Amino acid sequence: MEIIDVLEQPEIAETHRILATPTLIKELPPPLRRVIGDLSDKEKVLLGLELRKSNEERGKPAS
């Protein structure tokens, strides 16, 4: 996990073609995923990065 301040290192923002702040990029494990927006809701972040399935999806096969 690497944290970059776009104001201090704009060239890295350029390389990764960042538009929005904050942006969270998950490179590994694939697939490459980007999440933008406030990261305080852990559940939303994990869903966005596809690191966790939603409650509904988890619930579906069971029902």
- Yes or no: say if 47 and 35 are a contact pair by the CB < 8 Å rule: no
CB of 44 to another protein, least distance (A): 4
Whichever of 19 and 28 has its CB closer to another protein, that residue is 19
Tell me, rounded to whole angstroms, the distance of Cα 44 from its chain centroid. 9
CA dihedral 12, 16, 19, 25 (to 10 degrees): -110
Residues between 15 and 54 with contacts to another protein, criterion CB under 8 A: 17-23, 31-41, 44-45, 47-48
List contacts with another protein (CB under 8 A). Answer: 6-7, 10-11, 13-14, 17-23, 31-41, 44-45, 47-48
